[in-house]
Every structure is written in C-alpha cells, then in structure tokens.
Structure 1
Amino acid sequence: MDIRQFARGTVEWPRIERVVRTLADRYGREEVRVEFLEADNWLSTPCVVDEEWFVKIVSRQNALVHALLTTGRNVGAFSSGTEGFFDRFATPREMVEHEYEATRRMREIGVNAPRPIEAFEVNGLGVLVLEYLPAFRTFDDLADREVRARAPDLFEMLATMHAHGLAHGDLRAENILVCDGELYVIDATSVHEDRVDETTAYDLACALAVLEPRIGAREAVGAAAAVYDPETLLSARTFLDFVRLRPDHEFDSTQLRSEVEKAADLSGG
C-alpha cells in the first residue's frame, strides 16, 4: 500500500453517506450533490456540496496523522532553539472546531477567509462546513509577476493577524488563495497563543519561503521589510532552516538569510 494512502486513510462509504444525509437534513434539502476533490490531503476528505459549501470530513486517522505531524514540527522548533509551539488535537471534532474558530476570528479582524458555517460531529467524524469559493487560484497557480504584485498584500495580511495575537502556523502556497482579486488564507493550524513572538517569526519565515523561489530573496525580504521591523525579520531568520526541512517548501535559505541580515543592517537593526 502507498504510504500516502495509508497515512490519509479511507473513510468507509456508509459513514460518508451518513454525513451527506446529515448535511441535507441540517440545511432542509431532500438531497444534495457532492463532488469529492482530488486533493493529496492527509488531514481530511474534502468535498463540495451543491457548489455552495466546502466540507471537510475528518476521521480519527486524520487526527492521528495531525498529531504525528505536530510532534515532528515541535521537534523542528526545538532544533531552532525554542520550545515547540504547535498544538495537537485529541479528536476529529477538536480539529474541525479549531479551524472553524480560527477562520471566524480571522474574518472578525478583517482578514479574508471563507465564511465558516458550522462544525459538528457525525458518527465519530468531524465535519467542517465553509462557504465554497468557486473561482480561486492558489499562489502556485499565479505567474511570477502576479506573485510579485501580491507579496506586499501577503505581508500586510500576516501583520494584521499578528497584531491581533493570531498566527497561521502552516503557511504554504496552496493555503494562500486569490479570489475576486483579493487574497484569502485557509487551513490555519493551532499554535500556542502565549508564544506570539515565535509564531510570528515562524509565519514570516514560511512566507519568505513561499516567495523566494518565485521573486527572489531580495524582493521577498524587501516586501517583508516594508511591513515588519528589523528585529522581527531577524527572528524569522532563526526558523528558515526548520522550514527548509519541510517537504512543502523548497527555497534557498542561504540567500534569504543573507538578504534578511542586509535589510536589518540597512535599517539599523
């Protein structure tokens, strides 16, 4: 068996049918049309319902994989010289309730995110319902020139989150969307709320890692430096090697570190 298939697991069809029936009942519809997405997602079974709702179905195996990933991330944080700051979830319901609440809070402070509708449990499965964004592109889908134009908006969005004590914790190109000309963010993970400095630095390091392969280290750091102070930029440098070890980030950490140090020196940091 493919290790990805094993890690993700498969939700039995009768349990999925029960979730679908529950959704139809909750929203007063005799039946609903469900389209399952072909996404390499280890943490849920994603689908679109009636082209109106984006639904994540989270199993116990998904929760277990999340716990294992969280342990690995905390070890990586420790290797960067700080205690781990990623939270884990005990149940599928906790996973969907966290994402619901994180999405609600981001929208509350003015950060674009899909409208959260509800989170609940069906037969041991966590179910998250969000509004469906039908015509979006991820950062991976954008041409380099558009990534360059959007870079300041990305750092402004992160700075808004950080100013309100929030953090994303899993910023990747596929978690940054463009819809109707606006940036959206999705899939925030759970981090310790009392570790604002570390989580801010980690988010910033992840954003630089997303941008460097597309627009180069100098422009990526320049966009960050227009929003963040030199001390925060330098703190992000601490996490670059940790982020580089993640399979979903490929970038030149040496160039980024050099540009961060230059920007801090020019700013008197």
Structure 2
Amino acid sequence: MTVTLAPRPALATPSADDLTLSALRHEIDRLDDDILDLFQRRLALADRVGKAKDAPAGPHLPLRPDREAAVLARMVSQARPDQATAVAGLWREIVGWGLARQTATQVHVWAPVGTGRAFDAARRRFGQAARLTQAHDPEAALDFAAHGDGVAVLALSADHPWWTGLRDRPGLKVFDGFGEAAPRALAVGRVDPAALASGRRVTVSAGGADFGPGAGRWGLATDRGWTLSLVDAAVPLDRLDGFVGTVG
C-alpha cells in the first residue's frame, strides 16, 4: 500500500516589515534589560544613602524636596520637549521607589468634597511606592503630619481654613503644591527648612503684610483677616508673621 504524504506548505519568506518589527522588538528587549539593571543599581545606592554616616537625622522626615526638584529639573531639561511630561512622571516614580528603600512613605489626603483630584495629585507626586490614606478631616491630616508619621496633602477650601493652623505648628512646612495656575492643594510635613526647594515662599500673614519693595504676591485663600499667599521674595525662614514653606 502506497501512502502519499501531503506536501508541506512552503515557509513564508519574512517580509521587510516583519524583519524590521523583529529587530525593533529585540532592541526594546535589550534596552529593558539595561533599564532593569540600572534601576536595581539605583535602588541599591538609595539603600546606602539612608545608611550613610552623614545622612540627615533628627526630628525631620528623610525628604529632600530640594534634591528631588534638582534631579527632576536636570532630567526634564535633557529630555526631548515632546517627551518631557513622560520623563517627569517616570522620574517621580524612580525617586519614590528610591525613597521607599529608606522609609515607608505614608500620605494622608484630605479634600472637602471627594478626594479624586487630591488623591491623583498625591499619587503623581509620591508615586506608586507611597501608601495613600483618606483623612476624615484636615485636623486629622495635620496631626498625622505633625507627629512625623508621614506627610499630608490637603485641598484648599473656603469652608475649612486649615492653613491658619500652620502658624501654630512650626515643625510643619509646606513643601509642594498641586494645581495649574495656582496650587489648589498643598503638601505638608516635618521637613527640614534647609531642605525645602527654592521657589515661591508660602506665607500665612495678617492683612497686607509687607514683604519688601517689588515683591510679587498671589493670594490663595483668606480667613478672618489672615491670608495664605505665594510670595516671590526671599521671606526669611524665621519670620514669625508669614513663612510656612515653599512651592517650587
């Protein structure tokens, strides 16, 4: 009995597009390997930073907004303009995971009606490594930050002038703001004043406080004669009638 085998189909000749796609995927895989190696090396260095003999110690959180701002600005300045937003988001995550090797970042978020925007802003700022929790009221968020357990992100609201209490909590400092033209939420924590990023000073002052000739001032909120403002003058850190932090 003769068995006739069906002819095997001829292998299709790869097209030029297929070869290009295969080569591109191979290059992406190679770059992914390189990125993974570099990222893990960076995390190992972050471990060493936290254990360095001259690492910051004391009542402040191991946050360096000045260093973070400098790293972010350097990376964004080197990025292609059409990729700057992606680079900024990526480096926020990288810095966040590096910080997590030194301490668990806990963030209490408060907003009067819903927490979507405030939560989104906090997540973008501190990255996926941070643990975000909703605070029931602004006082609870401020207490959490004041105890040094983590930081708080609080929305600005005419109904809850929580920011007036910053003058009674000298250990707390505003170290970042979230919003488009002007901050609509602020991040506060026990941050070393010397580690605050350079930028507009955040002040809580009575009436029309004078911050010097030519000083630009933008009011963010008011309450019973007190004003929360951004000031572009170098308000002294120890000025009792105003300074509560900076927004880069």
For Structure 1 versus Structure 2, the TM-score category normalised by the shorter chain is: under 0.3
Q: TM-score, normalised by structure 1?
A: 0.26
Larger relative strand fraction: 2
Larger Rg: 2
Q: TM-score, normalised by structure 2?
A: 0.28
